Structure 1
Amino acid sequence: MARRRLNICMVSDFFYPAMGGVESHLFNNSQCLMQRGHKVVIVTHSNGRRKGVRYMAGGLKVYYLPAVIVYSNASLPTFFCTFPVFRQIFIREQIDIVHGHQAFSTFCHEAILHARSMGLKTVFTDHSLLGFADTSGILLNKLLKFTLSDVQHAICVSHTSKENTVLRAALDPRQVSVVPNAIIADQFRPDPSARDPQRITVVVLSRLVYRKGVDLLVVAVPRICQLCPCVRFVIGGDGPKRIDLEQMRERYMLQDRVELLGSVRAADVPRVLVRGDIFLNTSLTEAFCIAIVEAASCGLLVVSTKVGGITEVLPRNMITFALPEEDSVVEALLEAIGRVGDRSNHPELSPQRFHSHVQRMYSWHNVAKRTERVYYKIADLEEPPLIERFRRYYGCGLVAGKLFCLVAAVDYLLGVVLAWLWPASRIEVARQFAQDTYQHAIGQNLQRHAAHALNRDVRGERGM
């Protein structure tokens, strides 16, 4: 199929400067899609001093919109209030496809609803797993069913995640593709000199929330410290559960054995990982978990709870599994400590070998290529009539279906009013970023710096 340039808008509440797998996926996938010739802009909510329009590496344009944050970096639902600003962005940037990320993101659901009211093609990527029995899961699953009833395609990051999403949203499996996460392996290289040869260091990098199994971490750390005097823990991340870790460290007087780093910038993650021998992940639910791939690329042996899609991520020689239970986590960690402590008898634990395997398995360029296929698949689909959209929403439930039809009807009418008040012809189209000129300028600068360094070295040799 002939490649053509598409204008893509990625939307999510979760983006830099916050840290996490969704944030990494958005940035790196966007960069690779731009390298493949597409235009990509990202829409997210403001974060601290990040407000307005910003340009990031490679000319990636990011809209940081004002929003009220309610919980875990997710914005307050506003239903129709974001329609005017989203419509302005879609028209200004001449967007063809709106791609929403993460079921917990309010911006994602609202952007997809508004895009469909404007007749734009939409894609949704699910990065998490949810249950079916708790109240929050039931409500979010119903919201997800509403959103996915009218998207052209959905993407999941693992086969386990696909099964979960298909069941939660009652989707046709043929409308859901599996595109895994990835990392930039060159940024996560082993550095044996950064490790403490006198101790075995266990690294934890995670949001400190219940879903990440911090309660398991709180009870497992003191037991490991008591059983293994040579082990120390380095824990990075922030969240409401951080107070539990601080109290645990004080209660058991482990200030010299447990280091709490707080929030870690994305650029500093490799520096933290290379300090460790073992990476510990205690998540209670996980669709993919980029963190364990980053750790394995840095040469760390991974210990993880056996939940969700984690079993699909790494080969068995790189990871030790545990049940999401205290005793099982401790046993798995003790086994890993024994293997790492006797590394000379376990050549398969070579950090460089781990890095080489990960480099071959995961690439953002491959992710972008597979995502691009989804875009081309839906780009020329015929737009269904409005009555068909209502039929899809009506099938979401006896009561919810009628409510969803009402929401869609109000949003559609609001779109008509906005088109009358601010016609698309009166909205200024944004200037295109000169990607080719930018890349050419970077190449010239690199050549200039290389020539300058070579001349400096030559002059230094002559002066000797």
Structure 2
Amino acid sequence: ISAISQRAVDEGLHFFELPGRRFIDPEQLFRIGRIIKRYNVRILHCHDPKTDFFGFLLKLRFPKMKLVSTVHGWTYRTRRSAFYNRLDKWALRRFSAVIAVSMNVERIARGCGISRTTLIYNAIDTDEWHPHSVRDTAALPLKDPGAFVIGYVGRISREKGPLDFVRVAEAVRRSDDKCEFVVAGEGPEFNEMRRLAEELRVVPFIHFLGQVSAADILSVFQRVDLLLSTSYTEGLPNNILEALSMGVPVVATRVGGVSEVINHNYNGLLTDAGDIDLMAEYVLSLKEDQRLTAKLIENGLITVREKFSFQERVKKIEKLYDTLLKRPIERPDSSCAGRSGAKKDNP
């Protein structure tokens, strides 16, 4: 959250940081309620299961306040996360509006009885994310400075398929030893990812950068030649939007909302999740086929500019807020009966 706070400071915004110690933190909930009362907050915009549940509780105290949530999808890593997800879906049925970041997420939400759902795609700030946005690119720790570099950017967790990334690296290296790999991110599967890299003897050619700041991610995209997304489930991934906006070609799995961004052989290449051989084949083909690479890059830039503009996303959210503030107080749905940090909007 520190990067978000610094951005708010830079923009001269009035904001509060309210760290919580656990899923239900009475002190945190009380402080949010105090802010709502003091500033007469009319819309509370939540972004994860914890804040969605807080929103439901706070609505009982402030019945005229509108509740909005942005939903990126639900992952089921543990029994606890499965419980939180069920609780989240129950709470979201009582919200004034739920923003789904992809058609796939919207379909899942509606299937769970969350009827007040609207589609507003994730977006990217193309003023910040573009091929010439970085002046000084930090050198990556490559064995061969002239290597073709394949990147993994994101959380190292099971649903992202990090072990498949290692398997693809091994398959690619068997055919072309001029390829190297970088991993920008951290997560619970890091040790297992590194263990497999050691087992497959590709550790010298996979460079683990750890958690990378937003500014450094720009540098990473400036240097990598290709983004490889090996996920088994996704909402609508920002790392793919970032890559397209930075002019980096993408090879990705056809899961969640990915195919709403990537049109196969137009602005990227798609495979089924777990298809190691085809992913490796696509990586090698993009290394050799400059004409195909140039086409994917050009069309990727067009896609982001025309469909995933941050400015257009903001306009749609503002329009949703305006619509909500003109509605009468709604009653909760009577149909069927993770994430952290809250955003408080005071239009």
TM-score normalised over the length of structure 1: 0.64
Match of 1:151 in 2: 95
Distance 1:54 1:366 in 2: 20
Contact 1:200 1:230 in 2 (8 A): yes
- Stretch deviating more after TM superposition (267-276 or 107-116): 107-116
Contact 1:278 1:300 in 2 (8 A): yes
Contact 2:249 2:293 in 1 (8 A): no
3-state SS, counterpart of residue 55 of structure 2 = helix
Instruction: Work out the number of aligned pairs and report it.
Output: 329
Specify which structure has the higher proportion of helix.
Answer: 1
Asked if residue 358 in structure 1 is aligned to residue 301 in structure 2, the reply is no
| 1:157-200 alpha-carbon deviations (Å, 9 max, x no partner) | 111110011112x133xx21100011112323336996988322
Flag as ranges the 4+ runs of structure 1 deviating above 4 A: 133-138, 191-197, 344-347
Match of 2:343 in 1: none
> Which of these residues, 21, 24, 31, is aligned with residue 77 of structure 1?
24
TM-score normalised over the length of structure 2: 0.84
Gaps (5+ residues) in structure 1?
Answer: 1-14, 18-26, 28-49, 69-74, 398-431, 433-464
Asked if residue 331 in structure 1 is aligned to residue 284 in structure 2, the reply is no
* Identity between Structure 1 and Structure 2 (%): 23
Distance 1:64 1:299 in 2: 35
Distance 2:147 2:177 in 1: 9
3-state SS, counterpart of residue 76 of structure 1 = coil
After the TM superposition, which residues 35-434 of structure 1 pair with which residues of structure 2 at under 5 Å, given as runs? 55-68=8-21, 75-78=22-25, 81-103=27-49, 106-119=50-63, 120-130=65-75, 139-168=83-112, 170-172=113-115, 175-190=116-131, 198-316=146-264, 317-325=266-274, 328-344=275-291, 347-349=294-296, 351=297, 354-384=300-330, 389=332, 392=333, 396-397=336-337
Distance 2:37 2:171 in 1: 58
Give the direction of change, closer, same or farther, for the CA distance of 1:146–1:347 in structure 2 (3 Å limit).
closer
3-state SS, counterpart of residue 155 of structure 1 = strand
| 1:243-284 alpha-carbon deviations (Å, 9 max, x no partner) | 123223333443431111000001111100121111011111
Contact 2:185 2:211 in 1 (8 A): yes
Question: How far has the Cα of 1:90 moved from its partner?
Answer: 0.9
CA RMSD across the alignment:
3.0
Gaps (5+ residues) in structure 2?
Answer: 338-345
Contact 1:200 1:337 in 2 (8 A): no
Letter of the 2:242 counterpart: E
3-state SS, counterpart of residue 187 of structure 2 = coil
3-state SS, counterpart of residue 306 of structure 2 = helix
Distance 2:218 2:70 in 1: 26
Distance 2:27 2:145 in 1: 57
Contact 2:168 2:280 in 1 (8 A): no
Question: How far has the Cα of 1:344 moved from its partner?
Answer: 4.4
Distance 1:130 1:199 in 2: 35
Give the direction of change, closer, same or farther, for the CA distance of 1:245–1:121 in structure 2 (3 Å limit).
same
3-state SS, counterpart of residue 256 of structure 1 = helix
Question: How far has the Cα of 1:97 moved from its partner?
Answer: 0.3
Contact 2:268 2:300 in 1 (8 A): no
Distance 2:272 2:298 in 1: 28
Letter of the 2:104 counterpart: T
Distance 2:279 2:313 in 1: 32
Give the direction of change, closer, same or farther, for the CA distance of 1:233–1:292 in structure 2 (3 Å limit).
same
Distance 1:136 1:76 in 2: 11
Give the direction of change, closer, same or farther, for the CA distance of 1:236–1:322 in structure 2 (3 Å limit).
same
Question: How far has the Cα of 1:308 moved from its partner?
Answer: 0.7
Give the direction of change, closer, same or farther, for the CA distance of 1:335–1:89 in structure 2 (3 Å limit).
same
Letter of the 2:54 counterpart: E
| 1:415-447 alpha-carbon deviations (Å, 9 max, x no partner) | xxxxxxxxxxxxxxxxx9xxxxxxxxxxxxxxx
Distance 1:342 1:382 in 2: 58
3-state SS, counterpart of residue 30 of structure 2 = helix
Contact 2:163 2:196 in 1 (8 A): no
